Amino acid sequence: MYTPLKDSKKHVILDTDIGPDCDDAGALAVMFYFARKYSVKILMTVNCTSNIYGNGTLDAINSFCGFGETEIAQYQGKGFLDGEEHMKFNRFISENLSERFMNGSLKVSSSSEAYSRLLKGAEDDSIVIITIGQFNTVAEALRNDPSLFNRKVSAVVSMAQCVPSGREYNVFCDAASSQYFFNEYKGPIICSNFEVGETVMSGFDDPSGFEHNPIKAAYYLYTDGKMKRMSWDPTTVHFAFTADEDFYRVSEPGWFKVNDDGSDEFVPDSNGRHFYLIKQADDRSIADFLDSVYSSFEG
């Protein structure tokens, strides 16, 4: 059903709403930690919002983690998650920790163009997309060429949905795109659903040095110095790379039904292509592991 990236060595696209919450920064750290450990290629990081400061934040974190040449792409629509309330950390990071953003040399692709180009250049069944934001950009890529997308994308691992039902942020922010994607993508979708990361509080113990560390800066500024946050996105990336059964178990198959208002429900079905995660470790054990990954980039 799903082979973890550490074993499959498939290439990765990470699609994130880098701004509304700081755990996206932690998720990027987890991705780069495992990408280096297991020699997994990261094709692109996508900012699925209209907020330009997400681009600078991606550049700062990519570079800080040693992956500064990773392509950055952005959604070209206007007015999507770009209000002041979504700039609690990413503006500071862009204007202080991204040299290319500050000097105007940061190159950012159109997400629609970049998805098309990378998918066309990839081998069949060779890409895993990890979404830790909304589904607007991946739905757009799927709409643009359904046959291409379904042929090239092996699986999608998403921070999305509630189990058995509910209304989750990444889904309801653009309900139409979420509905389309869950209905039309033909491969497996594994959701690290809301309940997985909700009670896993990860981050940092010490705020010192946040001025030079974009991962730590995201947590410091978003949490007003408390330094800990729910771990919705980091658990998603952790599973995508390792599928470690000491931490997470995959549910029986079924279908996530997305309603017009963005609410969802999971319908078990032996023929389904959708799955969700069930935690096997206690919250503290998961948080301790994630904390160790974030801190590995400090020194």
pTM listed for this prediction: 0.97
How many domains does the chain contain in total? Answer: 1
What's residue 299's pLDDT?
58
User: What is the domain range of residue 251?
Assistant: 5-295
pLDDT at 298: 80
What is the domain-level CATH number for residue 153?
A: 3.90.245.10
Which structure tokens are listed for 93? 């990071």
At residue 1, the pLDDT reads 77
Task: Give the pLDDT of residue 94.
Answer: 98
Query: What pLDDT is stored for residue 54 in this prediction?
Result: 98
- The whole-number mean pLDDT for each consecutive block of 10 residues of the chain, a chain of 299 residues, reads 95 97 98 98 98 98 97 97 96 98 98 98 98 98 98 98 97 98 98 98 96 97 98 98 97 97 97 98 98 90
